[in-house]
A and B are shown apart, each in its own frame.
Chain A
């Protein structure tokens, strides 16, 4: 069952720390992660708050399921108002700190105010203290972790920290854990920096025990067989998320040259399989996870495995987006991002946008501090990333704002080259290939995100394949047998699977492990896990409602901040036909997009004109209390 949540409030201005219990009946409606974060955000922020002011809370949360030894349960959500998007801010991290925050007895940590001088929070069960971080300020992530271990005299800790980018207020600064895991998107690191908060550090404790260990074993003992029977999971183990480079390139849907193309010549040089065969020196994992999707790469003298290895998104944004097929340069860029604490998606995509501007004469050498920002010139990454991370005057300060804000400053047609929604750069899945993502990139409450709905190929799967069977446990969908199809069926698929992913981000479960299609465990497995793990008798229907409630809360937050249908948009490049390659000509139309968007609002119970949840939707989900807040 779901008990009370234990909340840790830390007011950085007054240096006061207190705990509070959230009653179980409330916690069951908002059971951890992003939903709990949103519940707490609403209760600790006023409308119109400046995201980088002390009045913006920064909330770390886990779930009742976190820390139970099974694959894909060690995730932690950060919720705040995003400085990048201006919307509800939301980002997830894996690794070990989620399980350990829970093992210390806390479901959420809520930071408010601003410290006078740099600090970090140290948690060892009931001993919680703010410690001086003046000597850590300005340092890169790896050095900070080593210094904290030295200061505390132990390496039995887990840290979530910011690098220089967060301190300087880069709008896509992230929060790093173990140098290669990130609360990556939405600029949560900038919020942390604005509070003079360098890190959250927890002492390692004994793991959480499940309510029914024998029951959990039913899900864990056959994990090897489960993996062997699932080619996508095996590929995820073998090649990491980088296996997507191979698959997307094979179809000519690898976003290239700032989304002008789906084809990059020599793309095989940056394949996940190429990385595996050449520079991969380790497969890392998160607490108790068998999938081991994390990479460690080594390039002597350049890239240290201490900083991990690139994900698919990183290879795409610093690779194909920028017309670069040099894997070593991409890995080095990944390392610098992890050292400085930069989101690799927004960062690489913003550089790609700048290159597009440069190629079109919108930016010149005078604007770039002399850097030759041509597509394919990856030699500039180290210098440019330093300029961005430290917001050095000139091109660094400009790009530190992200592509959408920078384009408004540059003008001269630069805005037409931006590929972002709600100021957040698009992840590397082409909407011509996966049209439901056009809807989800547009409507997603914290800006474009690829991990907020299932992807379209599931609707093409054979009827005896789990890719087809599992999503149809959520709702009934129609088959799709072609790329470029965007219709009501896709809108329904977008919303129903978005609810599921929303629930996963609430229960803090990994979307590579606990998914509704290709993943290791499916919807019924999750119901079983809830029962065996914590004695929670639940259902797929309740899970879907939890996801829907969180989506609706986020939308209500955004509506209160002035967002509406006008912001649920896709950039012009979304409608470009694929210009070459095996799927030349595939495209989606603006007309189909608008119709599907209407259908999405109808299914969600949101108003077509304002894109706000209708009163009956709000009532059905028990969210009327939000109307009564300021």
Chain B
């Protein structure tokens, strides 16, 4: 069963039980990102265990540095 979330202000459906890590893979992000769920920033150690829930507002920003 799918749940609906908002990722960077756009609606999307993801399978129930999707973790943040799963979402990163689904949306084509590397692990070099900062993630907020419902306005609260996660520790990177939580990406593997934080399961997304219906209606979650997720913000992902890439940590693109260097050059």
Contact = CB atoms under 8 A, between A and B. Distances in A.
A548 B18 CA distance: 48
Given A462-B34, A463-B43, A479-B41, A457 B67 contact: no
A277 interface: no
A465 B66 contact: no
Given A460-B61, A462-B34, A244 B66 contact: yes
B65 A517 contact: yes
B4 interface: no
Contacts of A582: 8
A585 to B, nearest CB: 12
A241 B66 contact: yes
Interface in B7-60: 8, 30-32, 34-36, 41-45, 59
Given A231-B30, A460-B34, A518 B41 contact: no
Nearest to A427: B67
What is the interface of chain A mostly: helix, strand, loop, or mixed?
Answer: loop
Contacts of A460: 34, 61, 63
A464 B66 contact: no
Contacts of B30: 231, 235
B43 to A, nearest CB: 4
B27 to A, nearest CB: 11
Interface string A492-533: 000000000000000000001000011000000000000000
Interface string A104-118: 000000000000000
Interface string A426-440: 011100010000000
Interface string A308-328: 000011000000000000000
Contacts of B42: 462
B67 A428 contact: yes
Nearest to A232: B32
Contact of B41 (A250, A458, A462): A462
A591 interface: no
Nearest to B32: A231
Nearest to B39: A481
A458 B63 contact: yes
Given A231-B30, A231-B31, A464 B43 contact: yes
A196 interface: no
A450 interface: yes
A582 B34 CA distance: 17
Given A231-B30, A231-B32, A481-B59, A464 B45 contact: yes
Nearest to B41: A462
A464 B65 contact: no
Contacts of A464: 43-45
A15 to B, nearest CB: 42
**Interface band, chain A:** 35 or more
B67 A312 contact: yes
Interface residues of B, number: 20
Nearest to A433: B64
B65 A232 contact: yes
A251 B65 contact: no
Nearest to A245: B67
* Chain B CB within 10 Å, residue with most, of A232, A248, A451: A232
Interface string A221-237: 00000000001100110
Contacts of B67: 241, 244, 312-313, 427-429, 450-451, 455
A113 B61 CA distance: 52
A464 B43 CA distance: 6
Contacts of A235: 30, 32
B61 A457 contact: yes
> Considering residues A251, A461, A479, which has the most beta carbons from chain B within 10 angstroms of its beta carbon?
A461
A558 interface: no
A232 B65 CA distance: 9
B55 to A, nearest CB: 20
B66 A462 contact: no
A270 B34 CA distance: 26
A427 B63 CA distance: 18
A457 B63 CA distance: 5
A248 B43 contact: no
A233 to B, nearest CB: 10
Contacts of B35: 462
Contact of B36 (A457, A458, A481, A512): A481
Contacts of B66: 232, 236, 241, 244, 455, 512, 518
Contact of A467 (B36, B45, B59, B63): B63
A248 B34 contact: no
Contacts of B8: 582
A461 B59 CA distance: 13
Given A231-B30, A427-B67, A428-B67, A457 B62 contact: yes
Interface of B: 8, 30-32, 34-36, 41-45, 59, 61-67
22 contacts: A231-B31, A232-B66, A241-B67, A244-B66, A247-B64, A250-B62, A253-B64, A427-B67, A428-B67, A450-B67, A457-B34, A457-B61, A457-B64, A460-B63, A462-B35, A462-B41, A462-B43, A464-B43, A467-B65, A481-B34, A481-B59, A483-B61
Given A232-B66, A457-B61, A462-B34, 17 more contacts: A231-B30, A235-B32, A241-B66, A244-B66, A247-B62, A248-B64, A427-B67, A454-B65, A457-B62, A461-B34, A463-B41, A465-B63, A481-B36, A481-B41, A483-B61, A512-B66, A582-B8
Interface of A: 231-232, 235-236, 241, 244, 247-248, 250-251, 253, 312-313, 427-429, 433, 450-451, 454-455, 457-458, 460-465, 467, 479, 481, 483, 512, 517-518, 582
